[in-house]
Structure formats: structure tokens, C-alpha cells
A and B are shown apart, each in its own frame.
Chain A
Amino acid sequence: AQSVTQLGSHVSVSEGALVLLRCNYSSSVPPYLFWYVQYPNQGLQLLLKYTSAATLVKGINGFEAEFKKSETSFHLTKPSAHMSDAAEYFCAVSVGGTDKLIFGTGTRLQVFP
């Protein structure tokens, strides 16, 4: 069965520092993987997606993620954090052959000045 694991429920960085949010997946078939961001009292907004094309995926707001099959990982990175990046980030996997999208437990990113 497909699943995702996000390591670290909280990540704190200084403004301008590298952001690294970790996501590992489990899937018996090639997965479709997504990163979403959620700001307080809002719905989820897509940051980027992997659907078996390029392994390095660029998203909105300067974020990118690399699909590594050997490591079953899809970590999210941003070279330089901005205060506005403070939010909850969810990694998600589409369950093969169905319309299910399963979310990881989320990582709260704090950015300090």
C-alpha cells in the first residue's frame, strides 16, 4: 500500500537559510507525489508535483523537489527562506489505480528573522 512519511513535525530556519523538508514514500508502483502548503485558516495549495517525468521538479515560490527512487524520497527544498514561507507543508501520494490522495503528517515550518 502507498504511504508517505514526513520526518520532523517542526522545522525552524533563519530567514535566508536553506529550507529542507523531508518526505519518504512507500509504493509498489511508480507513484505520483505532491507537495502542498497550508497557511492558517486556508485550504491546501499545490507547490509542485512529480508524475514520472523529470526527477527534479520546480514549483512555485522558489521551491523544488527531487524524486530519488533509490532512496524512496521526495524532499522539498528552497535555497533561501522567506518569512512568508512559514506554514504547514504536506507531502502526499496518489494511491495507484484510485482517486485516493494520502497525506503525510505534515511539517510546520517556522522562519525566524
Chain B
Amino acid sequence: DTEVTQTPKHLVMGMTNKKSLKCEQHMGHRAMYWYKQKAKKPPELMFVYSYEKLSINESVPSRFSPECPNSSLLNLHLHALQPEDSALYLCASSQDRKTPLHFGNGTRLTVT
């Protein structure tokens, strides 16, 4: 069982929909991450929150909007996505730069 929980596991949405991906960790980690992974590619960093504040935004389009309501939760709000945004979205957490990231099992997103 993973210590980082992501919901939903699968999501299909139209280009005009608004949806949210959710991530939760109870390990007391200070940093939480969103990665995007296309098929047969490595994960690509999107956002990093450190102590509930956005610390890294890798020039992600504004149709992706992250939110960190508290130290255990991380959301990714989706609006007006394109079919090329279809991918596996991975959430991760870590305590510090030396410690490894703990990943959730991801949300498989399909944009129609």
C-alpha cells in the first residue's frame, strides 16, 4: 500500500469541464509535488509546494491550478484542458532534499 493516496484513479473529462485531482499524505512531509507522465516517458515536474507555499512552478499552463489547503493535502484543479494533457498525474511527498520522494499510484487522466 502506498503512503501517498491519490483520487480518483481514473478520470475522463471533456475540454470544457472543470475537475480536480486530490492527493493526501500523512507522513508529516514538508514538500509535496505534482508530476505529469506521458506514456513511455519519465515523469516531468509541474509544481512543488514547500511548507504549504508554492515554491516551484515549471512554467505550467494556467489551465492547471495547484492548491495546498494544508500540510497533508494537495489538489490540482483542471479547467479547459486539451487532449494532449491526457497523461498519468503523479503526486509525491518528501521531507527534505536528501530523502527520496514517496509517490502515489497516480490518476490516469483522459481528455476527450
- CB of B66 within 8 A of chain A? no
Q: Which of chain B's residues have a CB closer than 8 A to the CB of A41?
A: 105, 108
A9-30 residues with Cβ-Cβ distance < 8 A to B are none
Q: Is the CB of A43 within 8 A of B56?
A: no
Q: Which of chain A's residues have a CB closer than 8 A to the CB of B76?
A: none
Q: Which of B40, B43, B56 is most buried by chain A, counting CB atoms within 10 A of its CB?
A: B43
- CB of A74 within 8 A of chain B? no
Tell me, in angstroms, the Cα distance from A99 to B43 when the chains sit together. 15
- Name A102's closest neighbour in chain B (CB-CB): B45
| Count of chain A residues near B, Cβ 8 A | 23
- With A43-B90, A43-B105 in contact, is A32–B98 under 8 Å at CB? yes
Q: Is the CB of A49 within 8 A of B100?
A: yes
Q: Is the CB of A51 within 8 A of B98?
A: yes
Tell me, in angstroms, the Cα distance from A98 to B104 when the chains sit together. 21
- With A32-B98, A94-B97, A99-B94 in contact, is A43–B103 under 8 Å at CB? yes
Q: Is the CB of A99 within 8 A of B103?
A: no
Q: Is the CB of A103 within 8 A of B31?
A: no
- With A45-B103, A46-B100, A106-B42 in contact, is A100–B90 under 8 Å at CB? no
- CB of B72 within 8 A of chain A? no
Q: Which of chain B's residues have a CB closer than 8 A to the CB of A44?
A: 43, 90, 92, 101, 103
Q: Which of chain A's residues have a CB closer than 8 A to the CB of B101?
A: 44, 46, 101
Tell me, in angstroms, the Cα distance from A94 to B95 when the chains sit together. 13
- CB of A67 within 8 A of chain B? no
Q: Is the CB of B42 within 8 A of A43?
A: no
Tell me, in angstroms, the Cα distance from A102 to B56 when the chains sit together. 13
B62-100 residues with Cβ-Cβ distance < 8 A to A are 90, 92, 94, 97-98, 100
Could you list which residues of chain B lie within 8 angstroms of chain A, going by C-beta atoms?
Answer: 2, 4, 31, 33, 40-43, 45, 48, 50, 55-56, 90, 92, 94, 97-98, 100-106, 108
**Knowing that A44-B43, A44-B101, A99-B55 are A-B contacts, what are 18 other residue pairs whose CB atoms are under 8 Å apart, sorted by A's residue number?**
A41-B105, A41-B108, A43-B4, A43-B92, A43-B105, A45-B103, A46-B101, A49-B100, A90-B42, A94-B97, A98-B56, A99-B33, A99-B50, A99-B56, A100-B48, A101-B33, A104-B42, A105-B41
